[in-house]
Structure formats: structure tokens, C-alpha cells
Amino acid sequence: MRVCLLPIKTEPRNPAANFERLVQRLDEIAPERPDLICLPEGGITGYLYEESDFARFAESVPGPTTEQMGQLARRHRAYFCFGVLERAESGVYNSAVLLDRAGRIILRHRKVEEKPPFIIGDTVDNVDSDLGRLGILICGDLFDEETVHELDPSLDLLLVPMSRPFSESMPDINHWISRERQMYLEAVRGAGVTTLIVNALEINTDDPSFGSAMIVSADGELLAESPLGTDTPLIRDFSAGGS
């Protein structure tokens, strides 16, 4: 299979511009014909966590965003994984959705390791596909032992959308190499499954996420990485299980 991790530039609270930017980037990578396209946490809205933002941008799943993304999945004949602010009867979840090549929702994950005013998820599910058995965690879920323990040990691939900033200046390549990156590798080794990590590259905000993407083997080996602080797509061919 061919995977594409796409850390698109995201301007929080500007979904129209973000979607337009996504369509343009997808057209650029279309000749690569990826089987699976993964977008960051927050997807098209950016990572938002204020009640006022929930009122403006949260939506049902299925809903307008999943329909838009479904059209893209059909156009590119690819699986799509992306983050969405999901409105439900119980409140708003930080969710990620996986669509198949026909644009149908085949898996939804509600972030477990999250703070109020979000409602937290309480299940970790998976789905069988022609790409193998796939699962999803979102950002901090990957670093939570109890959540990781709920992963199916037979997973072939774990998808992890993120929207994660540095605690220090950004982008800081020395900090990344000496400290931050190793945290991700160790977390994946603890999960024990080949993992695709894609981080948002936020713009026009005070605390931006730093972009880039990683593919990490089940034993915590870095297989591929896109340049830090960029929205460069990471495209790689490999079989189910990461070999």
C-alpha cells in the first residue's frame, strides 16, 4: 500500500480556507495515487477547545465535513483519516474519522485523553480493510498507557492525527532530535504496532503546532520523517504490518 501523511497548514477558525488548501495539496499529490491519506487532529477547523468555538464549528458525524471528505475520498479513490469537532447529544468530542474509498465512514475514534469542555471517549475500536486491520488514536491518547492497552494486538496499522506544539521555541530541531522525537518512538514501541503520525502545521495563532509527520515501526524504529516545521507530505510504500 501507499500512504500519504499530509500535515496541511491550518488556520484555526477558517475552515473554508483550510479546505481549499487541502484540495490544492491533494491535487498536487494525486499522481502518487496513495491508498491512504491521513490528516491532522482538528482537521479543517484547527484544534479548538473553547465553548464559543464549539458553538460555531462543532457538527454531527456524519455531517457536512464527512460529506465533503467523502467526495474527496471518492475522487482520489483513497481511504481518508481526519480530525473533526463532533457534536453529539452528550456534548462535543475531539474525534477522528476513517472513510473508505467510497467515502463511507468505517471507523470513528473519540479522543480519550482530553480535557473539558470536551466529552471524552471511552472505547478504542478497529476495522478490517483491504489495507489490513486499522485503528486510530488521537494525539495524547498515544501517551496514555490505559488507552494504549485497549488497542487490538492484531492491528496492522495505527493512525495518529495530532495537533501538538512545542513547549519551547518552534521549530527547534535540536530539541526535537534530543528529546521530543524519542518520546514518540518510545510511545509507539509501547503500543507495539506500526504507526502513522501526522501533526498539524498551524498558522496565524499564538501557540502553533509544528507540523511534520512520521512513520514508526512496531518496535519503535523511525522508518520515515518529513521535515520539521513544514507541511511537506510524507509518502511511503509498505505492506500491512509495516515491512
For the segment 41-75, what is each residue's pLDDT rounded down to a tens digit? 998 999 999 999 999 999 999 999 999 999 999 99
Of 20-24, 36-40, 227-231, the least confident = 227-231
Question: Rounded to an integer, what distance in angstroms lies between the CA atom of residue 89 and that of residue 28?
Answer: 39
Judge whether residue 206 has pLDDT over 90: no
20 by DSSP, 3-state: which? Answer: helix
User: Cell digits for 202?
Assistant: 498551524
Cell of 10: 491550518
Pick the CATH number of 2-237 from 3.30.365.10, 3.40.50.720, 3.30.450.40, 3.60.110.10: 3.60.110.10
Residue 208's region, left for phi above 0, alpha for psi from -120 to 50, else beta, is beta
Phi, psi dihedral angles at 220 (to 5 degrees): 85, 15
The Cα–Cα gap between 222 and 225 comes to 7
Q: In the predicted model, is pLDDT for residue 122 greater than 80?
A: yes
- Partnered with residue 165 across adjacent β-strands are 209
pLDDT for 59: 97
Residue 84 parent element (H or E): strand 79-88
112 secondary structure, DSSP code:
S
pLDDT of residue 80: 98
